Each structure stands twice: as structure tokens, then as C-alpha cells.
Structure 1
Amino acid sequence: MVSQLEFVMIKPDGVKRRLIGEIISRFEKRGLNIIAMKMVRISRETAEKLYEEHKGKSFFEDLISYITSGPVVCMVIEGDEAVSVIRKMIGATDPKEALPGTIRGDFALSKAENVIHASDSPEKAKKEMSLFFEETELQLNTQTV
């Protein structure tokens, strides 16, 4: 098995609906290790960097407005094959296609408000982590306070 780091974000609708504890619990019960976590309000500039691959698409402005509309919870999660494991746990982007038992299958209300984001590759995870966490914050799990 290959230990990986994955970036996960509980989106504004997930925070507003008080799903933070339920979502974190699912990752912990799966044996994944949360090594960094914080609640933030995303600036437009950061949101545009996070979703830069969608720039120019018809839904881009709505996506930016939504992700900056309220606080989000950002996490870095470590585990064996974390990227693929977490992507399976969160389910399809469209909740109508997400299987029951997945986070989106159980909680998402629409494709636009689908509760959670997770990076789709180890490279993307590294880039997205760097938008929200300093390198020193990711080393906390190995240091003694």
C-alpha cells in the first residue's frame, strides 16, 4: 500500500447543515488520519485558483459565489491510497448518481451544493493543500507540542 495525502473540503452547505462531525467520523472510522484541519472563509482569489480548470465554463461564476458564500472546513487526510479511497467514500459529483452510503449519496442536495470536495489526484491534492495550509501545519502530526 502507498500512504498518500489527500485534500478534502467540507463545502458551505455541509458546514451550514452541521454535517462536519458526521463527515469527519466517516473518515476516522475508515482508519484515515486527519493531519491538519481548519475552518476558513475562502477569498475570491483563492477560489479562482482552486477551480481554475473551470474558468470560462458557464457555471464558473456560480461555483465561485457558492464556495465563497460561507465557511468551509479544509482537511489534509493521510492513509493508504487516500486519494482513491476518499473519492470512493464521497461518491459521484451529481448526488443523483452517488450511491447510498457515500457522503454525497447520503447528504448532497444538488450537483451545485454537494457537501464535499476532494482532490482527484495526488498532484492536485498537493496543489490544493498549498492553497490552505503552510508546510509547517502539515508536519504537526509528527511533532510534540
Structure 2
Amino acid sequence: MAVTQTFVMVKPDGTKRGIVGDIMSRFEHRGFKLIHAKQLVMSSAMAEQHYSHLSAKPFFQELVDYITSGPVFAMVWEAENAVQLSRSMIGPTNPAEASPGTIRGDYGTSVEANVIHGSDCPENAEREISVFFGQ
């Protein structure tokens, strides 16, 4: 299996709660290698670009408003099968459906405040890495 990269972002609810280090530790313990990381407050334009694939959804503006409401911590992680492995660690979008031991199962409080974003496919990982870190 090839080593690939994925994009992971701790959302404003996670940064406000001070759990960035805990989340990073989970990835490190799972064997991921941290490639890039930075904390920032996303502009509306950046958020709209990040969530462009959801622009037709009725909740799109709520997503943009939420993700720009405070600092996020953006990261690029590398591992074998990085996207699939990180998604299994993160858990389902709804924390009520996420198993204990997953990041959302342990830290998420609602669909809106689910602590973390992770790329859902290699193509989106590449696009999201580009949005946050350039080529």
C-alpha cells in the first residue's frame, strides 16, 4: 500500500476546548507523520472554497458561518492509505452515531460541533491541502 496524504482540520469547537494536542496525539500514535500544520481563522472566501462541493446544500451558509467563527487548526498527515485510515479514526459526522474510541465519538457534541474535518477521498484531500497550504 502506498504512502498518501490527507487533510485534517480541528474545527472552532475543538480549538476552543483545547483538544488539538489530544487529536494530534491520536494521529501520531496511529503511525501518521505530520507534514504541515497551522492555526488560522478562515475568511468567508476560503471557507466557501473549502466547502465548494456543498454549495448547493441548504446548510451551506451555516457551515461557512460556523467554520469562520473562530480559529481552526489545519494539518496534513501522511500514512499508508491515509484518507481511509483517518476517516475510520474520525468516525461518522453525527457524534451520536460515532463509536466510542473515534474522535467524534469521544469529543463531538452535535452534528454542527463535531470537532474535526477530514478529507473523504484522495481527490478532496489534494484539493483541501492546496486550499490551505498551496501546491
When normalised by structure 2's length, the TM-score is: 0.97
Q: Secondary structure at the match of 2:96?
A: coil
Distance 1:130 1:56 in 2: 22
Report sequence identity in percent. Answer: 51
Structure 2 unpaired stretches of 5+: none
1:88 counterpart letter in structure 2: S
Question: 1:45: Cα distance to partner?
Answer: 0.4
2:42 counterpart letter in structure 1: I
Q: Secondary structure at the match of 2:120?
A: coil
2:52 counterpart letter in structure 1: E
Distance 2:93 2:122 in 1: 19
Distance 1:79 1:65 in 2: 32
Question: 1:96: Cα distance to partner?
Answer: 0.7
Distance 2:29 2:10 in 1: 17
The corresponding residue for 1:142 is none
Structure 1 unpaired stretches of 5+: 136-145
**Aligned ranges for residues 35-74 of structure 1 at < 5 Å?**
35-74=35-74
**Aligned ranges for residues 6-85 of structure 1 at < 5 Å?**
6-85=6-85
Question: 1:120: Cα distance to partner?
Answer: 0.6
Distance 1:58 1:112 in 2: 14
**1:93-130 C-alpha deviation (Å, 9 max, x unpaired):** 00011010000000000001100001111111010001
The corresponding residue for 2:134 is 134
The number of equivalent residue pairs is 135
When normalised by structure 1's length, the TM-score is: 0.91
Distance 2:76 2:53 in 1: 21
Aligned Cα root-mean-square deviation (Å): 0.7
Deviating above 6 A after TM superposition, structure 1's stretches of 4 or more consecutive aligned residues are: none
Distance 2:86 2:56 in 1: 28
Distance 1:126 1:13 in 2: 25
Question: 1:131: Cα distance to partner?
Answer: 0.7
**1:53-111 C-alpha deviation (Å, 9 max, x unpaired):** 21132211111100000000000000000100000000000001101000000000000
The corresponding residue for 2:87 is 87
Distance 1:82 1:57 in 2: 27
